[in-house]
Chains A and B, each alone.
Chain A
Amino acid sequence: DAGVTQSPTHLIKTRGQQVTLRCSPKSGHDTVSWYQQALGQGPQFIFQYYEEEERQRGNFPDRFSGHQFPNYSSELNVNALLLGDSALYLCASSALGGFRDPYEQYFGPGTRLTVT
């Protein structure tokens, strides 16, 4: 049973460019949340997708957008990259929006984004 997978592992982009990160949830999970973890900080919630819609959003600008596909996988898109966007981006999956089982949030290994 595969856990949460993310691609790519590492990514280097130039300021102003756009980037797409991908996440496949754990088998049986239908909800995907994205977190940004800056160096030396805890993860910060970006947004959550359930039933192909953005259900909840943290305090991030519109440059951060996402998508969820019918197979529950998800993409995180960041436009007009800034140096401050350099971080580890974590994807977490859960089942049925997490309301029935609040413990069922599994994290992927993350994508390390470096903006130069």
Chain B
Amino acid sequence: AQTVTQSQPEMSVQEAETVTLSCTYDTSESDYYLFWYKQPPSRQMILVIRQEAYKQQNATENRFSVNFQKAAKSFSLKISDSQLGDAAMYFCAYRSAFTGNQFYFGTGTSLTVIP
């Protein structure tokens, strides 16, 4: 089974600064999708950004960007110009391109934004 590892249980960042959250995954598949989800205290999981494994170009969504290293099986999230509203749990997730749309999640990183 695929595994997703987030080695940073907690991170903090000063407002307006940049922070990078780490994620590694283990798979033998050649094609898959990777996601970062945000879960604020309201509990609703919100999609932040996604990346198709076959694309070499790193995905970018406004202040959010990823560094996808397929050979290293690494998928980090960079948040630029951090805002107070970015404070939340962030989960990295993996989805196979072949075996249904089951998502495998990491254990999450709690991000605190310091005013």
Chain A residues within 8 Å of B, Cβ to Cβ: 31, 33, 35, 40-45, 48, 55-56, 58, 88, 90, 92, 94, 97-99, 102-103, 105, 107-110, 112
Contact at A48–B102, with CB atoms within 8 Å?
A: yes
* Per-residue interface assignment for chain B, residues 36 to 55, with 1 indicating a CB less than 8 Å from any chain A CB and 0 otherwise: 01000011111100100000
**Distance of A83 Cα from B91 Cα, bound (Å):** 25
**Distance of A97 Cα from B98 Cα, bound (Å):** 12
Q: How large is the interface on B (under 10, 10 to 19, 20 to 34, 35 or more residues)?
A: 20 to 34
Of the 9-residue stretches B13-21, B66-74, B79-87, B105-113, which lies at the interface with chain A?
B105-113
Q: Given known contacts A41-B108, A43-B91, A102-B95, is B100 in contact with A107 (CB within 8 Å)?
A: no
Give chain B nearest CB distance to A29 CB in angstroms: 11
The 5 closest A-B pairs by CB, nearest first: A98-B101, A42-B105, A107-B45, A56-B100, A45-B102
Contact at B107–A40, with CB atoms within 8 Å?
A: yes
**Other-chain residue from B42, B47, B100 in contact with A48 (beta carbon distance below 8 A):** B100
**Distance of A98 Cα from B32 Cα, bound (Å):** 13
* Minimum CB distance partner of B108 in chain A: A42
**Other-chain residue from B4, B6, B43, B100 in contact with A98 (beta carbon distance below 8 A):** B100
Contact at A99–B101, with CB atoms within 8 Å?
A: yes
**Distance of A102 Cα from B97 Cα, bound (Å):** 8
Q: Given known contacts A43-B91, A102-B33, is B47 in contact with A55 (CB within 8 Å)?
A: no
